[in-house]
Amino acid sequence: MAKIGYLTISLLIASEEEEKELLKKTSNLGYKVCMGKAGTMESSELIAAIETAAKREEILRAGYYKEEHALYHASLNALRGFCRGEIGIGNFLRTIGVKFVVLRGPMDTTHSNLGEWVSVGIYGMVGAPIKGFEHEAIGLEINNI
Amino acid sequence: MAKIGYLTISLLIASEEEEKELLKKTSNLGYKVCMGKAGTMESSELIAAIETAAKREEILRAGYYKEEHALYHASLNALRGFCRGEIGIGNFLRTIGVKFVVLRGPMDTTHSNLGEWVSVGIYGMVGAPIKGFEHEAIGLEINNI
Amino acid sequence: MAKIGYLTISLLIASEEEEKELLKKTSNLGYKVCMGKAGTMESSELIAAIETAAKREEILRAGYYKEEHALYHASLNALRGFCRGEIGIGNFLRTIGVKFVVLRGPMDTTHSNLGEWVSVGIYGMVGAPIKGFEHEAIGLEINNI
Amino acid sequence: MAKIGYLTISLLIASEEEEKELLKKTSNLGYKVCMGKAGTMESSELIAAIETAAKREEILRAGYYKEEHALYHASLNALRGFCRGEIGIGNFLRTIGVKFVVLRGPMDTTHSNLGEWVSVGIYGMVGAPIKGFEHEAIGLEINNI
Amino acid sequence: MAKIGYLTISLLIASEEEEKELLKKTSNLGYKVCMGKAGTMESSELIAAIETAAKREEILRAGYYKEEHALYHASLNALRGFCRGEIGIGNFLRTIGVKFVVLRGPMDTTHSNLGEWVSVGIYGMVGAPIKGFEHEAIGLEINNI
Amino acid sequence: MAKIGYLTISLLIASEEEEKELLKKTSNLGYKVCMGKAGTMESSELIAAIETAAKREEILRAGYYKEEHALYHASLNALRGFCRGEIGIGNFLRTIGVKFVVLRGPMDTTHSNLGEWVSVGIYGMVGAPIKGFEHEAIGLEINNI
């Protein structure tokens, strides 16, 4: 049994080697998955990077507002969790360097009757724009799609 | 090399078997660590459970307000990340069942000169008080101590 | 042409007479609709009232977590809009007396290909627990379902 | 009997034809009223548009900070309700196209002894900068002036 | 020249001796003033204490909703500043022991033509319910009345 | 006996003459102290001004991330208190002109065993970019360092 959030988090913190294995496993469990990286001081750029990757990798069906809406709010809330409160990066004088993961599929692999869900995870460093003056943060949101 | 947030997240999502191995590894890397579980509709109860566990396992030195202050704000912000915005559980008609992890030690094991930090992670289920009507969430905060 | 939000708001502010006409029109346009009233100092009670009404009137299919999840977040955000910021009623020493409306159907009646959406609207009085020491507020959220 | 919020909302969702009738009725009930439209990704631009319209239409007396202060906070909170939480438009990668209405007058027309109030309403579309990938939202705040 | 916020803050941090002198000075400058203390874990109790004191000392005219509304929002925002973000006391497992001050009068004593304003200040200790495990906080809001 | 928050607030509202006396007293009590002024519409500029001043005056030890982290969160929360809710200046169409004070030393001078703390205070004017259309605000945060 595997849950959508567990798989998202596992991919977020995986090393490059573990990633390959995990991506295969995740696909075999019936999930569509995409990943990417972003370094930015603008929250809109991170949201755009997630949306672009999800469309390119066909996690979303082109032209379906419902699906984009579900992904958008999952991304916004994952970023809110990452920021631990109000969303703010450059306007709070900090920068982020993150990996993001998007999964689409069942809530958990033993309950496929619960329909499709989307999970967005963000993990990486947040801090001052000085090497080493930063620490880790994580954000995750799961939404009906 | 291992980072304090990575280790916290790894422990949060570990199976019982993986946990034992990870706890040993984390201790060997120089971290104090404690864990616990909480099921509640009151945010104050989760914060209390984290504080109590951290004191009992001597993550904090008894009677040091500075250290309790650092842990308190890490816990509050980890919960904020878990809630993806405003803190609210029962007052938002939802319940949580979570595992929490507290680590104290270096920011990352290759930079011991960065002093001591505390990391609080919360992972588990949030949702309606109906079996299966819930999904995963995660929150993490790292603070200077 | 009619939009889901426009119809929700129209029902919220309708007089009893206008309501009958509007309910008929809204149903004819292909929407499932339910309404109710709540007077409370607890935000969880309002959310519960909305959920209960939506289930009783079969806006949601029984046992579908995905649909309850969509409604829950629409309700929470409609309440956030009503509160104009943080959610708080009794804990902010105020009370509310509101009408709520839930619609399920197309985003707008000329774009049925956009799939099904749920709209939650809350309208009424908020203020001190003294007759006349209160003013109107409104909240609306539209979510994919 | 008519309430300031009800009239504001009615004007917000009125068709062009209904608007004329409603504006006349609202004026006859003793309200000063102004309206406008704004399409923007910057929250400051919407607030500026509301202030400018209110001054031009003499809803506010020129040079009275107290009145501008009351309008400013009503606008900010109406926008907060529209955004359903934190204020954010372009920084959250979304755009808005809205109509706004400002009323000044009695809380309700049967209680003129309650003094003057200002009501700000915002209604329109919010969403991705793609035609059709957007949905309705509404915000309202009523303040003493 | 003296400003309403400066006088409020000065009274908040005054010793008992300084207080007498300051109260006299503040009254002579044309301000109505009241003060009080509150120790609580419920935000509603603090708001109630401020309202009650302001009515008893006739800072507000009895039965004027407009004036109560202005005071209410000043109190809520002063508490928000005191809490440095979301309002939360006992639900965040903390307790407060504070002094509060309410002033009504000119924005500053050299600009009496700016009309009447109300200022609410809150100052004191916030922290764990353990003696010494707490630190100072302050909140201030100024509103048109 | 003197507390770190009391001293910070006293310095914030001191006249130029009082300031000299207070600075001497504060230093003699064992605090490192720095002050500055900032007029801006960007929250990041105020945070930067506080950090720069604190480094230049050696409130922080150069290259210590732990100490910069403690100051950063104190500054961010002081600004949150100043803004009475969400952080926003220019994006909310307002401007600020403030004085800030940073203190480092004991929580209070009779409890030196409580270790070192940092206090950040912000006081000044916030409002429309029109002379006189602004009022006072204050923000304070105390953090373990």
CA dist., res. F38 & res. F122, Å (int): 10
> Quick one: tokens of B81?
């990340």
- What is the rounded average pLDDT of the residues F43-62? 96
Rg of chain E (C-alpha set): 15
For the ranges A29-33, D36-40, D109-113, E122-126, the lowest mean pLDDT is seen at D109-113
Report the residue from A4, A85, A117 with minimal CB separation from B80.
A85
- Nearest residue of chain E to residue C92 (CA atoms): E44
Report the pLDDT value the prediction gives residue D130, as an integer from 0 to 100. Answer: 86
Is the CB of residue E137 less than 8 Å from the CB of residue F120? Answer: no
Whether the predicted pLDDT of A67 surpasses 80 = yes
Determine which helix (DSSP H) or strand (DSSP E) holds A124, and give its type and residue range: strand A116-127
Give ∠ CA C128-D3-C119 in degrees, rounded to 5: 85
- What is the rounded average pLDDT of the residues D14-26? 97
Torsion of CA F5, F8, F12, F16, to 10 degrees: 140
Q: Most distant CA pair in chain B: distance in Å?
A: 48
Is the CB of residue A7 less than 8 Å from the CB of residue A105? Answer: no
CA dist., res. A145 & res. A1, Å (int): 21
Cα-Cα-Cα-Cα dihedral sign, residues A39, A42, A46, A52: negative
CA dist., res. C108 & res. A67, Å (int): 17
Q: Which of E40, E44, E45 to mutate to test the interface with C (most CBs of C within 10 A)?
A: E44
Is the CB of residue A142 less than 8 Å from the CB of residue B135? Answer: yes
Q: Where are the alpha helices (DSSP H) in F65-127?
A: 65-83
Write a three-state SS string for B69-136. HHHHHHHHHHHHHHHCCCCCCHHHCCEEEEEEEEEEEECECCCHHHCEEEEEEEEEEEECCCCCCEEE
For residue A106, what are the β-bridge partners?
A116
How many CB pairs lie under 8 A apart between chains B and C?
29
D92 with A44: Cβ contact below 8 A: yes
Give ∠ CA E12-E15-E19 in degrees, rounded to 5: 70
- What is the rounded average pLDDT of the residues E85-113? 93
- pLDDT tens digits along C106-128: 999 887 678 899 999 999 999 99
Report the residue from F85, F114, F138 with minimal CB separation from E9.
F138
CA dist., res. D95 & res. D98, Å (int): 10
Q: Which residues of chain F are within 8 Å of residue A86 when distances are taken between CB atoms?
A: 86-87
A132 interfaces chain B, CB cutoff of 8 Å: yes
A65 interfaces chain D, CB cutoff of 8 Å: yes
C120 interfaces chain D, CB cutoff of 8 Å: no
B69 with F144: Cβ contact below 8 A: yes
Report the residue from D43, D65, D68 with minimal CB separation from F91.
D43
DSSP codes joined into one string, C39-96: EES-HHHHHHHHHHHHHHTTSS-TT-HHHHHHHHHHHHHHHHHHHTSS--SGGGT-EE
Q: How many residues does the structure list for chain D?
A: 145
Determine which helix (DSSP H) or strand (DSSP E) holds B27, and give its type and residue range: helix B16-28
F132 with D68: Cβ contact below 8 A: no
> Nearest-CA distance from D3 to chain F in Å?
28
- What is the rounded average pLDDT of the residues E80-105? 97
Is the CB of residue C111 less than 8 Å from the CB of residue D132? Answer: yes
Confidence grade of residue C1 (pLDDT, cut at 50, 70, 90)? confident
> Quick one: tokens of C40?
């409370």
Confidence grade of residue C81 (pLDDT, cut at 50, 70, 90)? very high
Report the pLDDT value the prediction gives residue B32, as an integer from 0 to 100. Answer: 98
For the ranges B11-15, B39-43, F62-66, the lowest mean pLDDT is seen at F62-66
Q: Which residues of chain B are within 8 Å of residue C87 when distances are taken between CB atoms?
A: 86, 88, 91-92
C128 with E72: Cβ contact below 8 A: yes
Report the residue from D66, D67, D144 with minimal CB separation from E66.
D144
CA dist., res. F77 & res. F140, Å (int): 7
CA dist., res. B70 & res. B74, Å (int): 6
Is the CB of residue E91 less than 8 Å from the CB of residue E47? Answer: no
Whether the predicted pLDDT of B112 surpasses 70 = no
Whether the predicted pLDDT of A130 surpasses 90 = no
Give ∠ CA A75-A76-A79 in degrees, rounded to 5: 85
CA dist., res. F2 & res. B111, Å (int): 37
- Grouping H, G, I as helix, E, B as strand and the rest as coil, residue A114 is helix
CA dist., res. B109 & res. A131, Å (int): 16
Q: Which residue has the tokens 């495990």?
A: E133
Report the residue from F43, F51, F69 with minimal CB separation from A92.
F43
Is the CB of residue D42 less than 8 Å from the CB of residue D89? Answer: yes
Whether the predicted pLDDT of F114 surpasses 90 = no
- CA distance readout (Å), D95 to C3, C127, D130: 19, 32, 9
> Which chains, if any, share at least 3 CB pairs under 8 A with chain B?
A, C, E, F
- CA distance readout (Å), E25 to C5, E18, E34, E52, F83: 55, 11, 13, 24, 29
Is the CB of residue E145 less than 8 Å from the CB of residue E104? Answer: yes
CA dist., res. B15 & res. D40, Å (int): 49
- pLDDT tens digits along B117-142: 999 999 999 999 888 899 999 999 99
CA dist., res. C45 & res. C79, Å (int): 12
Rg of chain F (C-alpha set): 15
Report the pLDDT value the prediction gives residue B1, as an integer from 0 to 100. Answer: 78
Give ∠ CA A13-A17-A18 in degrees, rounded to 5: 50
A64 with C107: Cβ contact below 8 A: no
Q: Which residue has the tokens 């909480």?
A: B38
A67 with C144: Cβ contact below 8 A: yes
Q: Which residues of chain A are within 8 Å of residue D94 when distances are taken between CB atoms?
A: 72
Report the residue from F88, F90, F128 with minimal CB separation from D68.
F128
Q: Which amino acid is at B105?
A: G
E44 with C135: Cβ contact below 8 A: no
**Mean pLDDT of the residues in chain E:** 95
B65 with F145: Cβ contact below 8 A: no
- pTM score of the predicted model: 0.97
Order of strands across the sheet that contains F116-127: F32-40, F95-106, F116-127, F134-144
Confidence grade of residue A28 (pLDDT, cut at 50, 70, 90)? very high
- pLDDT tens digits along E113-136: 788 999 999 999 999 988 889 999
Report the pLDDT value the prediction gives residue E112, as an integer from 0 to 100. Answer: 67
> Quick one: tokens of F112?
């030196």
List Cβ neighbours of A66 (8 Å cut-off, separation of 6 or more).
A145, C114, C115, C116, C117, C144
Q: Which residues of chain E are within 8 Å of residue F7 when distances are taken between CB atoms?
A: none
- What is the rounded average pLDDT of the residues A38-43? 98
Measure the N-to-C terminal CA separation of chain B; round to a whole number of Å.
21
Whether the predicted pLDDT of B105 surpasses 90 = yes
Whether the predicted pLDDT of B116 surpasses 90 = yes
Q: How many other C-beta atoms can be found within 10 angstroms of the C-beta atom of residue F47?
A: 25
Torsion of CA C124, C126, C128, C134, to 10 degrees: -60
CA dist., res. B60 & res. A136, Å (int): 22
Is the CB of residue E135 less than 8 Å from the CB of residue F107? Answer: yes
List Cβ neighbours of B60 (8 Å cut-off, separation of 6 or more).
B54, B67, B68, B71, B104
E44 interfaces chain B, CB cutoff of 8 Å: no
Is the CB of residue E44 less than 8 Å from the CB of residue E145? Answer: no
- Grouping H, G, I as helix, E, B as strand and the rest as coil, residue F142 is strand
CA dist., res. E97 & res. A116, Å (int): 49
Q: Which residues of chain B are within 8 Å of residue F115 when distances are taken between CB atoms?
A: 64-66
Q: Which amino acid is at D59?
A: I
D61 interfaces chain E, CB cutoff of 8 Å: no
- pLDDT tens digits along B44-87: 999 999 999 999 999 998 889 999 999 999 999 999 999 998 99
- CA distance readout (Å), B112 to A68, B11, B119, D13, E60: 44, 21, 15, 61, 59
As for the ipTM of the complex, it is 0.96
> Quick one: tokens of D136?
């309705």
Q: How many other C-beta atoms can be found within 10 angstroms of the C-beta atom of residue E18?
A: 12
Judged by phi (left if over 0) then psi (alpha if -120 to 50, else beta), residue B63 lies in left
Q: In terms of DSSP bridges, do strands F32-40 and B32-40 run parallel, antiparallel, or are they unpaired?
A: unpaired
> Quick one: tokens of B2?
């291992």
